[in-house]
Every structure is written in structure tokens, then in C-alpha cells.
């Protein structure tokens, strides 16, 4: 069995998260995104979360829906 470095595992988790999202596998996206966050903390890489813009977009879309329902 090949051993991976934490950084290799971190990169793999990011690729798998985006691949899962692209294939409408939302639970797997969440799984791999969480793995990415965990490895980023564990390895003390301090990389910015690559999924943050997606989270902001989702929040903005949801806010627009709430505002339109209030009218």
C-alpha cells in the first residue's frame, strides 16, 4: 500500500469534492469537503478554504429567495 503525505491527501480530497459536486453527489461533496477541512487543520497548512466562494454564493441565493417571499 502506498503511503500518501498529508498534502497529497489534502489535494486528493479537494479534487474528489469538486468531482462529487459536478456529478450531483451532494453528500459525497460534503464528505470530501469536510475531509479537506480536517486535513488542512491537521497539517497546519492554513490554506484558504477552496469551497468558501461556493458557500457564499449559496448564502446569497438563499437570502434572495427569503427576500422575495417577504414581498
pLDDT digits (tens, 9 = 90+) for 1-43: 678 899 999 999 999 999 999 999 999 999 999 999 999 999 9
Q: In this structure, are residues 17 and 32 in contact, taking their beta carbons and an 8 Å threshold?
A: yes
Taking phi first (over 0 means left), then psi (-120 to 50 degrees means alpha), and beta for anything else, what does residue 66 get?
A: alpha
Kind and range of the H or E element at 20?
helix 6-22
pLDDT tens, residue by residue, 40-59: 999 999 999 999 999 999 88
| The residue to which cell 489534502 is assigned | 10
Query: Which ranges constitute the DSSP H helices of 26-51?
Result: 26-42
Query: By C-alpha distance, which of 7, 1, 18 is closest to 45?
Result: 7
Amino acid at each position: 500500500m502506498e503511503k500518501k503525505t498529508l498534502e497529497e491527501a489534502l489535494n486528493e480530497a479537494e479534487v474528489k469534492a469538486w468531482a462529487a459536486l459536478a456529478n450531483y453527489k451532494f453528500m459525497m461533496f460534503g464528505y470530501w469537503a469536510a475531509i479537506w477541512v480536517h486535513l488542512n487543520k491537521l497539517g497546519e497548512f492554513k490554506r484558504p478554504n477552496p469551497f468558501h466562494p461556493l458557500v457564499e454564493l449559496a448564502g446569497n441565493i438563499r437570502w434572495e429567495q427569503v427576500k422575495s417571499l417577504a414581498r
